[in-house]
Each structure stands twice: as structure tokens, then as C-alpha cells.
């Protein structure tokens, strides 16, 4: 009676990964070669070999920043979706980024001379508390209404964001809100983006817990039945999400939709098993954000459109398509 | 041996379990029956430390629930919940593979892989091993969940209505597999059943729960009488003997 069908999924994963790596390499070369100052790739590299010039100072940092921000935000989105057990959430839409901004505003008011390290600490902590609050809120929602979860997150984020905006307004810090909430890479120079490496490393560290996240995503009871320390896993995952979000907010600004669209696309093709999927999520995240940044640079050359805005527009359409084209399930 | 002593449980003000004490011997199949809302799932959740005990104690051999680490318990007992609605998009093979997690904590050995393979074959899942569980029928998903509990390879297995969604072919074969597990490996299986005839046909002992209390604990021969069924379910049921089995004619 059993009919043996050959496994097809690994094949999909390998093909997908190879093509994306190829696209990514092309995009990296393009990103290095375009800019207001005209120069050839060969010139760029020969200058860089002497340890100076445009490549090391600006083009390479910018390219790396887009890749790191895209990859780590996509990973953060994937982890958040797994832990909340909902496909429609991401740090930008459920108040995590707003909480980070609120924390940063708070620390700027109370301790204006605080160093970057203490700012990051407060920002991450605030994002963590914000994520915990969201989780506590979501627990009360009926499980039969999955769309209530992101809706609730948007309201929740809106409340936090308005508190942050109010505080910023009262204290003349409004320009920061704009910078933190609208991701763009035009200001990225050597020495001004390195925190994103930390963000990337934290996302990478998340990979060590991939199995635990997947198991937690099966639900509290199933996870506990398998001997997983459920709340510890949730806290750990939220800490990763919070730090990645806060680091991105303070360095290049939040990039909405990355954490939403990328995990959804990847999951559709290769599933939800974090151990298999996370590397691909990071890869696609970096590629998409780099692509958006390049588009933003060439569309109105020599002016720039922020990568966050480009991604927002494209991301919305991709997401709508995903939502509507979801295969009907038995 | 499972030793449950004076377990009482409240949900808010309402009393769900009322001083339940039970002793189940090691090895064999015990069926847990009773009307909807009797407290069967709650008792299971307490046994599997998914709900905190409010009073009383539960022991599996030397391990006391609530005093034993959750990892050790996961190697002692596996539970299949009644509403195990797993929504993740993972393959059947991966899901069953997570049953080995208590043993390897993320680093599967060859022996673990082999056990997963064996579980897939045991529950007729080899042909759909690489399908995503969100693309399966309810019955297939149910079998995958049972296979995951089986892969946990514990002495004790708690299954809450595992026959849900199974057609009669798979329902009977699951009961026969459980019988074989109990006989060949000495596993202790506690299973919540609604179809009393499966309990009669496959279990060594039947326990009836009613309104949070133990109403009856007896082997099938003495359990299956019209009086007992009336006392538990409040309905008149004819009980007939076929060969060495007692069958309740409750459908007609
Ligand atoms: N979360 C809950 N809050 C309040 N009452 C509950 C909750 N869960 C279960 N109950 C009640 O506990 C009783 C026992 O439920 P349960 O253990 O699921 O019964 P069974 O599995 O025997 O059908 C039922 O009356 C049910 O209404
Ligand atoms: Mg029940």
C-alpha cells in the first residue's frame, strides 16, 4: 500500500541557495561600482590594495551594512514568527523597533552623555521588554484569528511609538525618530556601521538554538513534553530579536517588511525547520536589502531613495501576493 | 508503576479533579474513559507536568512529577495531547525526529536517525516522510504525532484520544501496535478512548473518570457490564459477548 515518493525538498533548497548566492555576488559587484564618484572596479581595488580610497572608506562599508542589516533583520523576523507562532509578525510592526526607539530617546534625555554602549544596552533592553509585552498581549487572543495578532501588534506599536514621539518632541529630539525609523544606507562610512557586525553575530548565535526555536514553535505543550525549557527558549529568542532590532535602529534605521516578507517567502518553499531554513533566510534577507539599496541609488541618480522605502513598496506587493496566492489547505 | 495520590485540581473556582488516587502497574495498556469534561485531559496534563500540581502527588517509578527536571521526565514519559494542533511547516521526518530531542538535545546520532526511520516505518509514514505536516490529512498528521511520541522511546506513553481522525483501518492497527509495544518492550501505555469497545478489546485495565472522580477501575471482563456503563455514561447500553470479548452495542 505505501507508495514511495522521492524526497524533493532538499533539491529545492540547494537550487534556491545556489541561485541566490549567484545573484548576491552580482549585486555586491554592482553595489561596489556605482556611486556619484565615477570610478572603475579595477581602480577601486587597486586603491584598496594600498589601504585607502573610496572602496574601503565608503562603498565596502555600505555594501556590508546592507547585507548585515538585511540578513540579521530577516533572521530576527523568522525567530519572532516562530516563537509567536504567527506568520504575520515582525519586529517593525509589533512594537519591538518602537520600544527600542523609546529606550534610546529615554536614555538620551536622562543621560545625554551616555556612550554608545550604554545606549545600545538600554535600547536592547527596551526592545526586549516591548517584545515580552507583545507576547503577553497576544496570549490573550483567540488562536482561531491569526490576523488579530499583527493587528494587535500594530496598535501596540502605535501606542509605544506615540509615547516616544511625544518625549522626542518635548525634548527636541525629533530628528532622531526620523533617522531611527527610516532605514537608509547613504550615511554609512567606515567607523559608523560596525555595530551591525554585532547584530550579524547575534543572529548567527541564534543558529545554535535553531532546534530549540523550532520545537518552541510547535507550541508550549509539545515543547514541554519534549523536555524543552519553554520560557527560557522564548526569552532567549526574544533577546536575540531585541538586540538585532535595537542595533539596526541605531546604526542605519529600521527597515520595515524585511523581517516579514523574507521569512514568508523562504518558508513557503523550504518550510519552517529553523536549522535548515535560517541560513537561507539570512541570505535572502541580505540579497533583498542590497537589491533595494542599489535600486534606490540608481532610480533617481544622482539622488537617492532610502532602501527602506524601496523595500517597503516592493515588500508590500510581494507580501500581498504571498497572502493571496497561498495554496489552499486541506 | 504510576502512582497518583490525592490529586485535586481547580480551574478558578470550579473543581475539575476531586481527590483522584490511582495506581497503575508497570507494563501494559490502561484505557482511560469517561464522559466529556470528566477531567481526563486535565489529569494527563498534570501527569505530564504541563499543568502545575495544586495538591497531591504523581510518581512514575522513582520519579516524582514536579520534583524531577523536565528533561529527565521527557526521557521517562511521552505525551500526545488531545489538541496537538501543530501549525509549523515542517516535514513528517523532522517532526518525528524531534521525538529524539530529549535524548540528544540537538545532536542526532546515527542511532537516533535509525530510530526515526524505524518510527516512520512503524506508523506507515515512510511514503509521506518528506511532506510538510500542514499539507497532510488530519489522520496522517495524527499518525505523525503518535510516531513522534513513539520516537521518544520512553517507558511511559500517555495518549489523549489518539484515535481522533483515524479511519477504522488505522485505528485498529494503532491499537494493535500499542499492544505489541506493551507486550514486546514492557511499555506502560495510558490511553484516553471514547470508543469503549477499543478499550474492551485491547486494554488490560479500564479506568473510568466521572465528574473529576475515579468511578471504576477494573479489567475489561468485569468493567464491561450494562450496569457499569449506565453508571458512567447515564445511558442504556446492551453488552454482548463475542468469543472472549465483550462488546457494547452503543451505536444502535
Ligand atoms: N482552561 C480551562 N478553564 C476552565 N475550565 C476548564 C479549562 N480547561 C478545561 N476546563 C474544564 O475542566 C473540565 C475537564 O476538562 P478535560 O480535562 O478537558 O475533560 P475531558 O478530557 O475528560 O473531556 C471540563 O469541565 C472543562 O470545561
Ligand atoms: Mg479530553
Quick: pLDDT tens for A70-127.
999 999 999 999 999 998 899 998 999 999 999 999 999 999 898 888 898 999 999 9
Of B124, B132, B134, the CB nearest to A2: B124
pLDDT of residue A3 exceeding 50, the answer is no
pLDDT for the residue numbered B172: 94
- CATH superfamily label, A66-324: ABC transporter involved in vitamin B12 uptake, BtuC (1.10.3470.10)
Residues B201-242: tens digit of each pLDDT: 999 999 999 999 999 999 999 999 999 999 999 999 999 998
Q: What's the mean pLDDT in B43-65?
A: 96
> Which residue has a Cα nearest atom 18 of ligand 1?
B41
Please give the pLDDT value at position A328: 44
Interface test with B, best of A217, A226, A271 (most B CBs within 10 A): A226
* Element (DSSP H or E) covering residue B248: strand B245-249
* Total-model pTM: 0.92
Q: How many residues does chain A have?
A: 330
The answer, for A272 touching chain B at a CB cutoff of 8 Å, is yes
User: What is the pLDDT at residue B30?
Assistant: 98
Distance CA B191, CA B171 (A): 13
Interface touch A228/B101, C-beta < 8 Å: yes
Pocket mutation for ligand 1, best pick of B32, B42, B84 (most atoms within 8 Å of C-beta): B42
- Vertex A326 angle, CA A320 and A330, to 5°: 155
Closest partner CB to B101 (pick from A5, A211, A221): A211
* pLDDT range class, residue A51, cuts 50, 70, 90: low
Instruction: Determine, for residues B81 and A217 on separate chains, whether the beta-carbon distance falls below 8 Å.
Output: no
- How far is A199 from A191, CA to CA, in rounded Å? 15
Q: Which residues line ligand 1 (CB under 6 A)?
A: B 11, 16, 34, 36-42
Please, what sign has the CA dihedral across residues B235, B240, B245, B249?
negative
Quote the CA–CA distance of B95 and A218 in Å, as a whole number.
Answer: 9
Query: What is the pLDDT, as a whole number, of residue A2?
Result: 43
Query: What is the ipTM for the molecules in this complex?
Result: 0.92
User: So what's the pLDDT on residue B156?
Assistant: 98
Looking at the complex, report in whole angstroms how far the Cα of residue A257 sits from the nearest Cα belonging to chain B: 21
Which of A225, A228, A322 is the mutation pick for testing B, counting most B CBs within 10 A? Answer: A225
Which cell is B143 given? 499518525
Residues A230-240, mean pLDDT to the nearest whole number: 96
Give the pLDDT confidence of A261-306 residue by residue, as tens digits: 999 999 988 999 999 999 999 999 999 999 999 999 999 888 899 9
Query: Of ligand 1's atoms, which has the minimum distance to the CA of residue B43?
Result: 17
Amino acid at each position: 500500500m505505501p507508495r514511495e515518493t522521492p524526497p524533493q525538498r532538499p533539491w529545492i533548497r540547494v537550487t534556491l541557495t545556489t541561485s541566490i548566492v549567484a545573484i548576491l555576488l552580482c549585486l555586491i559587484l554592482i553595489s561596489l561600482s556605482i556611486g556619484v564618484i565615477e570610478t572603475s572596479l579595477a581602480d577601486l581595488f587597486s586603491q584598496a590594495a594600498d589601504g585607502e580610497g573610496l572602496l574601503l572608506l565608503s562603498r565596502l562599508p555600505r555594501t556590508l551594512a546592507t547585507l548585515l542589516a538585511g540578513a540579521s533583520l530577516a533572521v530576527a523576523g523568522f525567530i519572532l514568527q516562530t516563537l509567536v507562532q504567527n506568520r504575520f509578525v515582525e519586529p517593525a510592526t509589533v512594537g519591538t523597533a518602537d520600544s527600542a526607539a523609546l529606550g534610546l530617546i529615554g536614555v538620551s534625555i536622562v543621560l545625554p552623555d551616555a556612550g554608545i554602549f550604554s545606549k545600545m544596552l538600554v535600547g536592547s533592553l527596551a526592545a526586549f521588554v516591548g517584545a515580552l509585552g507583545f507576547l503577553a498581549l497576544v496570549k490573550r487572543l483567540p488562536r482561531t484569528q491569526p490576523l488579530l495578532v499583527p493587528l494587535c501588534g500594530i496598535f501596540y506599536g502605535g501606542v509605544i511609538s506615540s509615547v516616544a514621539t511625544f518625549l522626542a518632541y518635548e525634548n527636541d529630539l525629533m530628528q532622531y525618530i526620523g533617522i531611527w525609523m527610516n532605514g537608509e544606507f547613504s550615511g554609512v562610512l567606515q567607523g559608523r556601521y560596525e555595530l551591525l557586525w554585532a547584530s550579524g553575530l547575534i543572529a548567527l548565535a541564534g543558529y545554535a538554538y535553531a532546534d530549540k526555536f523550532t520545537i518552541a514553535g510547535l507550541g508550549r505543550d509539545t515543547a514541554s513534553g519534549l523536555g524543552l525549557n519553554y520560557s527560557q527558549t522564548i526569552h532567549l529568542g526574544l533577546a536575540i530579536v531585541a538586540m538585532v532590532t535595537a542595533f539596526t535602529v541605531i546604526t542605519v534605521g529600521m527597515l520595515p517588511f524585511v523581517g516579514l516578507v523574507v521569512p514568508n517567502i523562504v518558508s513557503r518553499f523550504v518550510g519552517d525547520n529553523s536549522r535548515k531554513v535560517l541560513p537561507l533566510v539570512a541570505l535572502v534577507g541580505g540579497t533583498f536589502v542590497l537589491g533595494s539599496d542599489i535600486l534606490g541609488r540608481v532610480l533617481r541618480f544622482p539622488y537617492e531613495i532610502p532602501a527602506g522605502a524601496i523595500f517597503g513598496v516592493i515588500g508590500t506587493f510581494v507580501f500581498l501576493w504571498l497572502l493571496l496566492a497561498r495554496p489552499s489547505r486541506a | 508503576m504510576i502512582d497518583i495520590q490525592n490529586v485535586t485540581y481547580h480551574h478558578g473556582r470550579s473543581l475539575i479533579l476531586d481527590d483522584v488516587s490511582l495506581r497503575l502497574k508497570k507494563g501494559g495498556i490502561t484505557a482511560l474513559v469517561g464522559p466529556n469534561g470528566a477531567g481526563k485531559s486535565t489529569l494527563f496534563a498534570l501527569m505530564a507536568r504541563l499543568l502545575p500540581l495544586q495538591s497531591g502527588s504523581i510518581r512514575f517509578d522513582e520519579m516524582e512529577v514536579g520534583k524531577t527536571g523536565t528533561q529527565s521526565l521527557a526521557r521517562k514519559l511521552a505525551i500526545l495531547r488531545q489538541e496537538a494542533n501543530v501549525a509549523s511547516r515542517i516535514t513528517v521526518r523532522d517532526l518525528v525526529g524531534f521525538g529524539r530531542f530529549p535524548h540528544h538535545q540537538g545532536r542526532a546520532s546515527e542511532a537516533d536517525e535509525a530510530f526515526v526511520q524505524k518510527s516512520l516505518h512503524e506508523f506507515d509514514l515512510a511514503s509521506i516522510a518528506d511532506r510538510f505536516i500542514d499539507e497532510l490529512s488530519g489522520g496522517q498528521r495524527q499518525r505523525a504525532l503518535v510516531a513522534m511520541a513513539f520516537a521518544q522511546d520512553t517507558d511511559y506513553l500517555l495518549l489523549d484520544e489518539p484515535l481522533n481522525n483515524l479511519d477504522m483501518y488505522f485505528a485498529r492497527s494503532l491499537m494493535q501496535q500499542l499492544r505489541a509495544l506493551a507486550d514486546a518492550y514492557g511499555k506502560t501505555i495510558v490511553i484516553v478512548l471514547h470508543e469503549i469497545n477499543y478499550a474492551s478489546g485491547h486494554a488490560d485495565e479500564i479506568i473510568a473518570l466521572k465528574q473529576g472522580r475515579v468511578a471504576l477501575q477494573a479489567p475489561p471482563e468485569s468493567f464491561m457490564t450494562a450496569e457499569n456503563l449506565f453508571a458512567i455514561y447515564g445511558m442504556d447500553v446492551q453488552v454482548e459477548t463475542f468469543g472472549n470479548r465483550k462488546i457494547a452495542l452503543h451505536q444502535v
